[in-house]
Amino acid sequence: MKLSKDVKVFAMLAGVFLLAYFVPFASLLVRRSGMEALLMVQEYARQHVLLCLVPALFIAGAISVFISQQSVIKYLGARANKVLAYGVASVSGAILAVCSCTVIPLFAGIYKRGAGLGPAIAFLYSGPAINVLAIVLTARVLGIELGLARAIGAVLFSIVIGLAMHFLFRKEEKEKLEASLALPEEKAGRPLWKTATYIAVMVGILIFANWGKPGTIEIRTTDGRTIAAARAGETDEAILYKPIAGGEGVLSISRSQVEKVTYARSIYASIYAARFVVAGVLLLVLVGLLFLWFARPEVAEWGGSTWSFTKLILPYLLGGVLVAGFLLGRPGHPALIPPEWISHAVGGNSWAANAAASVAGALMYFATLTEIPILQGLMGAGMGNGPALALLLAGPALSLPSILVLGRVMGAKKTAAYVSLVVVAATLTGKVFGVIVGP
């Protein structure tokens, strides 16, 4: 054991030495990539850690402490009703609308508590992939065909990939099932409805605190025009919009021409305006439930479990964001790998183009909804419809940071299988879609 630890320390020291010796830090490209890495970590910390990751970690801690293992096994375990287990897991993203990194603590919570690998993987994929607003915006900005294909593909992917993972690791799943049968009966504790209410309130905080911007906006220009549109991207000089009605293509409006931008009136927009008020009320409700229903030792155990998930996930997550920023940069800000390489590789509808889009999507980090303007730019540079769908199916569900963390949660073998299944399935689907609708 001591030798193994010494080997790890030596490998770390050797890696730092080789990095310091060989990396050309004097190069402008390397320095720019290093700055992009730091800026991406900062952007992730400011936009995702406090409102997304921290609530997810507390929910994961609550699942591991307050939801009995037998309950998780009953509804999501190997002997659970398959239609119910996969059905619930496959549409969970429609409610959560989280990114590939935020869903990992929730996945880790149910997986370590006894959920079957198949339903847990279905939940892991669907969480970031089946985002209602993202699908609607995809249809409006990139076309109804891509939006519909993304919606159908994401639901089917979560089920198919979950079933495939269960089949690949069926021996381990059988052993888990046998171990669960040997578990002693748990003593009756807090009523299930109280635990469900408590966790539902935390999920509500996560949902409302991260409520996405409305898709439809109204632009009033300095010459008196009012345009209903969806934002599609931006350049240094202009903002790109996709008209909702009365026009095709992308509308480029100079920043100096925009007098006012408002969100079109809708229930969704009203909720967005009041999202922090609703989240704050739910937080007060949560505090009240803790005082009414939970003893101090239980709260302390919850905190300890949350801290365990934090230590397990956060270092690898931030390290992955750092590496992804160094290699790929933030949207619109190139780093070590030139974006021209990616746009050139994903033109047309060849197998290579679809595979390149799937692999690029699996490695890139997409904050929620940012994949749409990125794809808008890539398609404008010649990206085919098939590779576009392949990236949409692989990108939101995977990223280099999430892959590193998954390796810690479920091991390198299962992680490699999951990533391979997503990439292969996205490649095949993209190729078929490209054949049907054209390049």
> How far lies 94's CA from each of 85, 109, 133, 209, in Å?
16, 19, 9, 16
The answer for residues whose C-beta is within 8 angstroms of residue 161's C-beta and 6 or more apart is 121, 122, 125, 418, 421, 422, 425
Do 234 and 240 form a contact (C-beta atoms < 8 A)?
Answer: yes
Q: Measure the CA–CA gap between 350 and 52, rounded to whole angstroms.
A: 37
Name all domains of the chain by residue range, CATH numbers in brackets: 38-181+188-212+273-437 (no CATH), 217-265 (2.30.30)
Angle among Cα 217, 223, 227 to the nearest 5 degrees reads: 20
Instruction: Output the tens digit of pLDDT for each of the chain's 439 residues.
Output: 445 778 878 888 898 899 888 888 888 889 999 998 898 889 888 888 888 888 888 988 888 888 877 777 777 776 777 888 888 787 776 666 667 777 888 888 888 887 888 888 988 888 787 777 677 777 777 778 888 888 888 888 889 999 999 999 988 888 777 766 655 555 556 777 888 898 889 989 988 888 877 767 777 777 777 777 766 666 666 676 666 655 556 667 777 777 677 776 778 778 888 889 999 999 999 999 999 888 889 899 999 999 998 988 888 888 888 888 888 787 667 888 887 777 778 888 889 999 999 998 888 887 666 777 677 767 776 788 899 899 989 988 888 888 988 998 898 999 999 999 999 999 999 999 988 887 6
What is the length of the chain? 439
With 0-12 CB in 10 A as exposed, 13-18 as middle and 19+ as buried, what is 319?
middle
The answer for residues whose C-beta is within 8 angstroms of residue 201's C-beta and 6 or more apart is 282, 285, 286, 289
List the end-to-end C-alpha distance of the chain, in Å, as a whole number: 56
> What φ, ψ does residue 414 adopt, rounded to 5°?
-65, -40
